[in-house]
Amino acid sequence: MAKEVQAAVVERRNDPFVVKNVLVDDQPGPKEVLVHIVASGICHSDEAVRVGDAGDLPLPIVLGHEGAGIVEKVGSAVSGVAVGDHVVLSYAYDGTCDNCLAGQPASCEQWVPLNMGSGKRPNGQPVFTDKDDTTQGLGSMFNQASFSTTTLVQESNVTVVGKDVDLRKVGPLGCGFVTGSGTVFNTLKPEPNSTMAIFGTGAVGSAALMAAKISGCAQIISVDIVPERLAMSKEIGATATVNSKEVDAVAAIKELTGGKGVDYAVDTTGLSAVMKQAVDAMGINGVFAPLAVSQKELDLVPFNDLVATQKSVVGVLMGNAVPQIEIKKLISFWQKGLYPFDKLEKTFKFADINEADRASTSGEVIKPVLIMDEDYTV
């Protein structure tokens, strides 16, 4: 059976989002969960798919992968989620490959086919179909498609949270915030009193910054070209800021660290020149994590740039996080006043998705959040 719902669909590359009625299969399979979406963050990865920077994902597609909502139905083999549960959605993983069994679902052997847009369920059927052409299946971002009023996901997509948690705020924990903070907590693991530079102070960079503060970094240097974002980074924990439009970022970071350079660097811009600056701004034994969804190249001379100073570059997907653990941890930090991610958010009506996307892309808003259910209250 199918249920008529609203979803924001991208028909062709570079097309705007079109909010339209589509059909979602509302009969969950054994390990599937039907979720009423209350709100969803907009992530840079959604825009990267829309314009083609994330590769050729199947179109038309329903994007959105920072959803939060309430469970409507569960499949017969679902054990950890119940009807009425309040949930945050993140990426899907199979749970059975060696990497998943080793506690690293972000390295799932089926990560790409599960998350990169096919929109197909384990039975081969699409989650969403076009209302006017039921033979036309729609793609689904992160097997989640949270730019919809109702979606059907796998149990692995779901993290149950307390019913006292405001679902209008926590959706972005499923991607942008968990990526930035998880990179720091799970991969970089900075020692207390160490130093870190974060290039780009959007949602992912800001999350890395807050995690660096929680981890006890003595110096946290944020680098950006937008003064308002740099001011916000100071508010949430940066010890110093660098406007790289006005000064040489590498020289400024070296000066701030007594000539040594930082122990860790994170880039969220995906720009070739900025990523090279991040490498150059590190000291001996520095570790660099480039996180942006970008097709730009990083040009290095391995001996000069890495070997001679024993620097390293590490790839980190989704913060190397187990969502069902990490999201709850971030909520706990937030409730204790240690992780004020909600300061970065601004809400928009679902119908205004293109305005919200523009605000995100321009840098005007760090984390836009779409409200699908305007009647929801905590």
Q: Is residue 55 part of a domain?
A: yes
Number of alpha carbons in the 13 Å side-chain half-sphere of residue 177: 33
Q: Is residue 326 part of a domain?
A: no
Same domain, 221 and 165: no
Question: Can you give the residue range of the structural domain that contains 213?
Answer: 180-317
Same domain, 230 and 277: yes
pLDDT of residue 374: 96
Find how far residue 317's CA is from the centre of its chain. Answer: 10
The CATH number of whichever domain residue 94 belongs to comes to 3.90.180.10
Mean pLDDT estimate for the chain: 95
* Residues in CB range of 375: below 8 A, 6 or more apart: none
The Cα 316–Cα 104 span in angstroms is 11
Structural domains of the chain, count: 2
pLDDT of residue 370: 98
Q: Is residue 31 part of a domain?
A: yes
Q: What do you get for the CA distance between the two ends of the chain, in Å? A: 31
* Residues in CB range of 325: below 8 A, 6 or more apart: none
Q: Which two tokens stand for residue 267?
A: 């880039």
Tens of pLDDT, residues 99-141: 999 999 999 999 998 998 778 888 888 999 998 887 888 989 8
What is the phi-psi region of residue 276: left when phi exceeds 0, alpha when psi lies from -120 to 50, beta otherwise? Answer: alpha
pLDDT at 258 over 90: yes
The CATH number of whichever domain residue 208 belongs to comes to 3.40.50.720
Same domain, 51 and 151: yes
What percent of the chain is modeled with pLDDT above 70? Answer: 100
Q: Are 190 and 221 contacting, i.e. CB atoms less than 8 angstroms apart? A: no
Poorest-confidence range of 66-75, 107-116, 230-239?
Answer: 107-116
pLDDT of residue 134: 79
Tens of pLDDT, residues 314-361: 999 999 999 999 999 999 999 999 999 999 999 999 999 999 999 999
Single-letter amino acid, residue 328: K
Predicted TM-score of the model (pTM): 0.94
Q: Are 45 and 54 contacting, i.e. CB atoms less than 8 angstroms apart? A: yes
Same domain, 119 and 167: yes
Mean pLDDT of 175-187: 97
pLDDT of residue 44: 87
Same domain, 218 and 310: yes
Same domain, 53 and 99: yes
Same domain, 306 and 165: no
Tens of pLDDT, residues 264-284: 999 999 999 999 999 999 999
Same domain, 151 and 242: no
Mean pLDDT of 26-39: 96
pLDDT of residue 92: 95
Q: Is residue 345 part of a domain?
A: yes
Same domain, 251 and 347: no
pLDDT of residue 120: 83
Q: Are 283 and 312 contacting, i.e. CB atoms less than 8 angstroms apart? A: no
Q: Is residue 294 part of a domain?
A: yes
Q: Is residue 199 part of a domain?
A: yes
Same domain, 14 and 54: yes
What is the phi-psi region of residue 270: left when phi exceeds 0, alpha when psi lies from -120 to 50, beta otherwise? Answer: left
The Cα 261–Cα 288 span in angstroms is 12
DSSP 190: P
Same domain, 70 and 106: yes
